[in-house]
Each structure stands twice: as structure tokens, then as C-alpha cells.
């Protein structure tokens, strides 16, 4: 199966390990990975800040970049949700609305793709230790992908999953809010993760 990877700008620039792991994982599951060089950013930073005009430029670029893809897979629920929002943004735009809809229809978040499309629930991973999973706001609430990550994690050999209390609460990391205004979300993120006092190795 041919998969076109949308790495996302954060992964590309700051967390390339996530991108590498995504490629290796999908290849192990028998996918052939394509990475179109012209991809940049889904446009969400500008869109969420109210710069819709500017973000649309980025979006058009993405629509063109992924026009020929069969499946677009991205290791970010948030960016996937942004792609899914494109048809709303280009509604009534004769040139772009259809293309946006086609992009949205073939976009999957990584775990969603593995579970829903590849129909794989066990990726064959082994990791000894304990972990907890904090749901992503945009992935659960906007993309509505709730189960897939937990399903995959539950099949990792040697890994004991411990539920995170109030996992639905926002970590406070994201958003324009911290960039623009105040210095406190750190206090909040630290507190959020201070509850993870689980013995053993934490991932």
C-alpha cells in the first residue's frame, strides 16, 4: 500500500525522531512511503490565530502537494483535524472546495490509519515498563479518534498501561494563549504531569 506521509512542520524541524519512527513503523507494516518535498505546514498556527487569509495560502499549497496521494498519513491528530477542516474553509470556492474535500477524505492520523485502514491492532512492538497515555485534545475532540492509540498501546508486549486521571483535560501546552499572554501554563503543565508518580520506568 502506498502511503504519502505528511510529517508536519513541528516534526520536520523540531522532532524528526517522530517522523523517522513513523516511516519505519509504516514500512514494517508493509507500506511504501512517499514524502513530497513541497509539503510545509497545514496552516493551523495562522488559522487559529485569526490569520485565515495567510493560512489559506499554506492550505492551497498542501492541497496541491497531496493531490495525487492515495492515503495521507500524519503523526499528528491536530494537523489531521486541520486537513479535515479545509472543505469548510473553502466552501463556496469553485476552484478549491472539491479539491479540499478530496484531501480531507483521504487524510488519516497515524494510529487511526493503522487500526482503521490497515486493520492492524498489534504492531509487534515490545517495550518493558509502565506508561500512561494523555489523549490529545484535537485528536479526540476534533478528529474524534479516541480508541485507536489505546488499542495499539494495549498490544505492546511488556508495557503496562496505567490510566491517567482526568486524561481528557488539556495539558496547556498548545495554543496561541501562552505565546501571546502569560507565563503560567508551565505551572499548569508541570502540575498536570506531577500526578504521574507511577513507580517503574515512565515513558
Partner 1 sequence: MAMKTSSAKFKDRVDEGIHNDFMRLAVSSAQERLHGRRLTAVDELGSWEDWRSLGEEIRQHVLSNLDFYLHQLAENVSKRGGHVFFAETAEEASGYIKDVIVKKNAKKVVKSKSMVTEEINLNATLEAVGLDVVETDLGEYILQVDDHDPPSHIVAPALHKNKEQIRDVFKEKLAYTQTEKPEELTAHVRGILRKDFLSADVGITGCNFAIAETGSIGLVTNEGNADLVTALPKTQITVMGMERLVPTFDEFEVLVSLLTRSAVGQRLTSYITALTGPRDEDDVDGPEEFHLVIVDNGRSSILGTEFQSVLQCIRCAACINVCPVYRQVGGHSYGSIYPGPIGAVLSPLLGGYDDFKELPYASTLCAACTDACPVKIPLHDLLRKHREVIVEKEKMAPFSEKMAMKAFGIGAASPMLYKFGSKMAPSAMSPFKTGDIISKGPGPLKTWTESREFPAPGKESFRDWFKNREKGGKPS
Binding residues vs partner 1 (CB under 8 A): 7, 9, 11-16, 19-20, 23-24, 35, 37-41, 43, 45-55, 57-58, 60-61, 137-138, 141-142, 166, 168-170, 172-189
Count of beta carbons in the 10 Å neighbourhood of residue 2: 10
Q: Which is nearer to partner 1, 33 or 159 (CB)?
A: 33
Between 34 and 97, whose beta carbon lies closer to partner 1?
34
Residues 161, 85: Cα–Cα separation, whole Å: 32
DSSP class per residue in 164-190? PTTTTS--S--SHHHHHT-S-HHHHHH
- The whole-angstrom separation of Cα 180 and Cα 35 is 33
Contact 172, 189 (CB under 8 A): yes
Q: 7 vs 145, which CB is nearer to partner 1?
A: 7
Q: How far is the CB of 43 from partner 1 (least distance, A)?
A: 6
Distance CA 175, CA 73 (A): 23
Report the nearest approach of partner 1 to the CB of residue 86 (Å): 14
Backbone angles phi, psi at 182, to 5 degrees: -130, 175
Of 11 and 31, which CB lies nearer to partner 1 in the complex structure? 11
In the complex, the smallest distance separating the C-beta of residue 101 from partner 1, rounded to whole angstroms, is 19
DSSP state of 140: I
CB of 196 vs partner 1, minimal distance in Å: 16
Asked whether the beta carbons of 66 and 72 are under 8 A apart, the reply is yes
The least distance separating partner 1 from the CB of residue 119, rounded to whole angstroms, comes to: 26
Write the Ramachandran bin of 129: left for phi over 0, alpha for psi from -120 to 50, otherwise beta: left
Q: Whole-number minimum distance, CB 105 to partner 1, in Å? A: 21
Amino acid at each position: 500500500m502506498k502511503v504519502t506521509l505528511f510529517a508536519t512542520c513541528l516534526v520536520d524541524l523540531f522532532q524528526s525522531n517522530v517522523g523517522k519512527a513513523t516511516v519505519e513503523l509504516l514500512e514494517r507494516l508493509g507500506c511504501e512511503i512517499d514524502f513530497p518535498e513541497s509539503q510545509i505546514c497545514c496552516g493551523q498556527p495562522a488559522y487559529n490565530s485569526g490569520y485565515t487569509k495567510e493560512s489559506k495560502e499554506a492550505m492551497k499549497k498542501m492541497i496541491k502537494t497531496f493531490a495525487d496521494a492515495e492515503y495521507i498519513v500524519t503523526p499528528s491528530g491536530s494537523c489531521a483535524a486541520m486537513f479535515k477542516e479545509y472543505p469548510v474553509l473553502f466552501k463556496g470556492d469553485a476552484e478549491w472546495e472539491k479539491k479540499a474535500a478530496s484531501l480531507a477524505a483521504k487524510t488519516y492520523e497515524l494510529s487511526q490509519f493503522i487500526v482503521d485502514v490497515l486493520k492492524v491492532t498489534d504492531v509487534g512492538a515490545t517495550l518493558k515498563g509502565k506508561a500512561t497515555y494523555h489523549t490529545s485534545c484535537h485528536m479526540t475532540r476534533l478528529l474524534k479518534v479516541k480508541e485507536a492509540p489505546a488499542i495499539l498501546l494495549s498490544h505492546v508486549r511488556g508495557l503496562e498501561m496505567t490510566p491517567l486521571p482526568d486524561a481528557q483535560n488539556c495539558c496547556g501546552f498548545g495554543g496561541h494563549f501562552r505565546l501571546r499572554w502569560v507565563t503560567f501554563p508551565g505551572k499548569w503543565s508541570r502540575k498536570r504531569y506531577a500526578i504521574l508518580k507511577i513507580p517503574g520506568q515512565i515513558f
